[in-house]
Structure 1
Amino acid sequence: MSTGILWFKNDLRLDDNPALVAAAGQVDRLVCVYCIDARFEQTVDYGEAPRVGPHRRGFIAEALVDLEQQLTERHQTLLTVRGEPEDILPRIAAFTGAGAIWAEVERAPDEAAQLERVNAQLPEGCALITTEDNTLYRLADLPYDDLADVPATFTKFRKKIEETIDNRRPVAIPDTLPAPVDLSELSIEQSDIGPWLPAEPRFAGGERAGQARLAYYLFDTDAIADYKQTRNGMLGDDYSSKFSPWLAAGCLSARRIAEQVGVYEAHETANKSTYWLVFELRWREFFHWTLARVGADLFSRGGIIGRDDRPKTTDGPTIAAWQAGRTGMPFIDANMKELAATGYMSNRGRQNVASFFARDLAQDWRWGAAWFEAQLIDYDVASNWCNWATVAGVGTDKRDNGFNVLSQAKRYDSEADYILHWLPELEAVPAKWRHTPWLADADTLAAIDYPRLASLPEAWDRS
């Protein structure tokens, strides 16, 4: 009987999983594996925070529980093992006589290098087969002869994509899965993820939770119909789709989301909001193919365009105050408090706290991006680092414009509702000063233990 291995990574789903479909169609027996590798113990490159922080770790744990349950219902099993894939997978391959390992392709340098290490250690006769990742398009779909031809700006990319290709259709779960393999005599111990499970998660991990959110946002509530008007909100569950946690862990397929938006448009309504949600998926797409194009350059201080005038400063107290939500700028501090408490932050918040860090505080932007890597429940390497690079002026947008954070605060939180939700101590400050508490007297700030903003950024309108 032919045997294969399915290596789950950031594709914790059965629906529209190309690696699963490929493996199921070619072998009689299948070992499904997830490796808890060094990333879960390592710290980020810029700072001392864990690469996989507690919020994302808890979400992944819930996703693994859901995946294991779904596989069990289909008479399969999931082996969750602590160890490096280049050690674990070759051992399983040798023990079972597997002829192939199927896994999602990787575009980021660290993850691609891990694939190479696994491939180098496989026993003779076992091949590593990579399938497309969680994007709308495959490389072969793109209307370019080479990755180097992918445009450097989103607008050119989007227009070319919209003119030439359709979103790739998702593939269904195979009707039956190959039989599991008895590994009881192989000395590999399953890892206990129970301690990772969160008590009160902001989002429930797992494919079924992601599918439920997709149905809720589109068909149960019609919230998508107002997406373009509400997407800059900051409080509540439905001002935006909130698909990003499930997309990041691969619990939801980008292709399935786009397909279901098409169904909604065909049966309910097609408007600027439904278009805009797919528009945002194309932004994500652009960042993924940008990472594939530029590789390690994205993670340099000068970024994609190689600027040598970006801040080099990494002032410990300044960075710590930003991380803790203790800068004295309420709009920034409230967003950072939400991030610490939930692992999530609105898109509007992310742009502003990044701009404040890289431009107003003039710190090396990579330290901020690495902090997001550690904290975000929906961390996606391409989206996170490309967005940070863009705000820092070293990304795909040649315009060198940051955000006037004070103006943004007054525009998107005019009544200070968001600020007061995360910084309730500011209720003691007169309403007219809640966005600018440094204008209050020193005794008021001391009484509520809120810091005074060290200095007004030059970019702000002093008036």
Structure 2
Amino acid sequence: MIEVVWFKRDLRVEDHAALASAQGPVLPLHVVEPEYWRGEDASPRQWRFTRDALLDLRAALAGIGLPLVVRVGDVVEVLADLHARHGIRALHSHEETGNLWTYARDRAVGRFCRAHGIAWTEHRQFAVFRRLDSRDRWAARAAAHHAAPLIPAPRGLMAVPEVAEGAIPDQPRAWNPEDGLLRPQPAGRAAALSLLDGFLAGRGADYRRGMSSPRTAPRACSRLSPHLAMGSVSMREVMQRLAAARQDLAAMDPRERPIPLGAADSLASRLHWHCHFIQKLESEPELERRAAHPAAEAARRPTAPDDPLLLAWAEGRTGLPFLDACMRSLIATGWLNFRMRAMVQAVASYHLALDWAASGARLARLFTDYEPGIHWPQVQMQSGATGINTPRIYNPVKQGLDQDPEAKFIARWVPEVAHLPSALRHMPWKLDAPPPGYPPPVVDVTAAMRAARDRLTTLRATPGFEAAARGVYRKHGSRARRFRQDDPASERAKAAARAAKAGRQLRLDV
């Protein structure tokens, strides 16, 4: 009898609870599932990163005396074959908060294990809790998970003899592997730790300011997101390394710190929100397809995959240069900073009135770091579908002027307007004749924003809207915020400023 460790989106050996809990002859297994890769949210760029991470995992497992057995096909069929050949006593894996396809697949695996008397143990991967009754005290439980001791890579495990490793395929299914990605991000544990070390050594010095602009964010941000999505490094290890680094920074003379304390604190805050959002999809898997607020779901109108507006938006051909630059950059690199992710999704939902599920699927395929538990709640949040977040109807022209004032980012990714003065790169429709090869705007930004506000006003006037929104908040809202409170830090800063002003008045500082 053997024990199988099923690797999914946890491609590492350090801090791997499933691998550490296995006993007896152990068979590490990864199943390449062609059916998954046929999904509308899967793409060649994601597979490329996954494949490189699998190669890295195979080398890491070899270092502790184990093979990585790779099979292509249906997981249940692969497990049935292994069970017939070797007899599976136990199956170990991490919990996965994936899309609805992986949710159904895991349920099928559960049925198989129960039918054949196989003990399947799923270990917690993130600070995400199954069958969570309430968000109350979630933050404390999350902190406890992140503070738990790291699990070292196991030693002395016995491999199952005479099992062919199997090749890691070049492609998981027949498709065109070219999807526009020009600058893939390196995969694997060493790449992940190098990014974190580089951030702490000085690359993150301008993190707070640099994270907002697509010009500066690629360097200023941690860039750990695809590694966390594929599990090349655990969230707990990143959090603990970051906490230790912050202690070291605090002990330094401020003039000698490679990055300010605020940069470390901001990154820790971002990592905290990672698990907060995944918990939403874990608690309600249907958020991938159904709006969180029932009134928003009732108001949805489907968008066809070949809708001209959807295609123009997804391919960076809207005639709105800053928006198009963001989309073209995303196509070429597989990454976009958070603020611009919010903007491109908001423009799709508000200005272009596209269904968030259609635009969200297109974005999912473009993100190398696609994490379903973050992606779908964020798509809904930026589309006004949650009912509990203040709608942000980003003006793509203003965002460009704010984040790319000299239009250098636009010139790089929209060469059709690069010859224009910087002001006209933002608004080429001001010219008497449009730039050759570049389309006119697909919408009038001002009129589209006005129409979006009207739709939102009508939606929020729906009978019972507020009561339903409170229900969404009870299920998914952060307890660090009150209902309808989007920015508590800003409110605290304003309150402190008011208190300081009152104090000056009392001191007669005229």
TM-score range, shorter chain: 0.7 to 0.9
Corresponding position: 1:234 with 2:211: no
Q: Indicate which of 267, 277, 283 corresponds to 1:293.
A: 283
Partner of 2:352: 361
Corresponding position: 1:213 with 2:195: yes
How far apart in 2 are the matches of 1:437 and 1:366?
31
CA apart distance, 1:343: 1.4
SS of the equivalent of 2:231 reads coil
CA apart distance, 1:460: 5.3
Distance 1:183 1:89, change over 3 A: farther
Distance 1:434 1:161, change over 3 A: farther
SS of the equivalent of 1:149 reads coil
Corresponding position: 1:129 with 2:150: no
Q: Indicate which of 215, 228, 236 corresponds to 1:247.
A: 228
How far apart in 1 are the matches of 2:94 and 2:295?
30
Partner of 2:291: 302
Partner of 2:146: 167
What is the one-letter code of the residue matched to 1:207? R
Q: Indicate which of 150, 156, 159 corresponds to 1:180.
A: 159
How far apart in 2 are the matches of 1:41 and 1:166?
31
Corresponding position: 1:33 with 2:29: yes
Q: How many residues align?
A: 430
Distance 1:274 1:212, change over 3 A: same
CA apart distance, 1:99: 0.7
- When the two chains are superposed, the root-mean-square deviation of aligned CA atoms in Å is 2.7
For 1:338-357, list aligned pairs within 5 A.
Answer: 338-357=329-348
Partner of 2:266: 276
For 1:72-111, list aligned pairs within 5 A.
Answer: 72-108=62-98, 109-111=100-102
Deviations 1:91-117 (A, max 9, x none): 213322221010111334432321221
Q: Indicate which of 260, 266, 269 corresponds to 2:247.
A: 266
How far apart in 2 are the matches of 1:309 and 1:407?
31
What is the one-letter code of the residue matched to 1:234? P
Distance 1:9 1:306, change over 3 A: farther
Corresponding position: 1:453 with 2:444: no
What is the one-letter code of the residue matched to 1:182? P
* Contact 1:287–1:386 (Cα < 8 Å) also in 2: yes
CA apart distance, 1:302: 3.0
Partner of 1:64: 54
* Contact 1:406–1:460 (Cα < 8 Å) also in 2: no
Distance 1:293 1:39, change over 3 A: same
Corresponding position: 1:438 with 2:419: no
SS of the equivalent of 2:296 reads coil
Structure 2 unaligned residues grouped into runs of 5+: 251-259, 451-510
SS of the equivalent of 1:257 reads helix
* Contact 2:351–2:449 (Cα < 8 Å) also in 1: no
Corresponding position: 1:147 with 2:143: no
* Contact 2:53–2:188 (Cα < 8 Å) also in 1: yes
SS of the equivalent of 1:111 reads helix
Distance 1:420 1:197, change over 3 A: closer
What is the one-letter code of the residue matched to 2:133? A
How far apart in 1 are the matches of 2:393 and 2:264?
28
How far apart in 2 are the matches of 1:93 and 1:66?
27
CA apart distance, 1:451: 0.7
CA apart distance, 1:311: 4.4
Distance 1:284 1:375, change over 3 A: same
Corresponding position: 1:120 with 2:111: yes
Deviations 1:279-300 (A, max 9, x none): 111111111111122221x133
* Contact 1:77–1:180 (Cα < 8 Å) also in 2: yes
Q: Indicate which of 300, 306, 318 corresponds to 2:309.
A: 318
Structure 1 runs of 4+ aligned residues shifted over 6 Å read 194-200
* Contact 1:284–1:383 (Cα < 8 Å) also in 2: yes
What is the one-letter code of the residue matched to 2:169? D
Structure 1 unaligned residues grouped into runs of 5+: 45-50, 141-145
* Contact 1:310–1:364 (Cα < 8 Å) also in 2: no
SS of the equivalent of 2:91 reads strand
How far apart in 2 are the matches of 1:102 and 1:227?
38
Identity of aligned residues (%): 24
How far apart in 1 are the matches of 2:145 and 2:204?
21
CA apart distance, 1:179: 1.9
What is the one-letter code of the residue matched to 1:120? R
CA apart distance, 1:352: 0.8
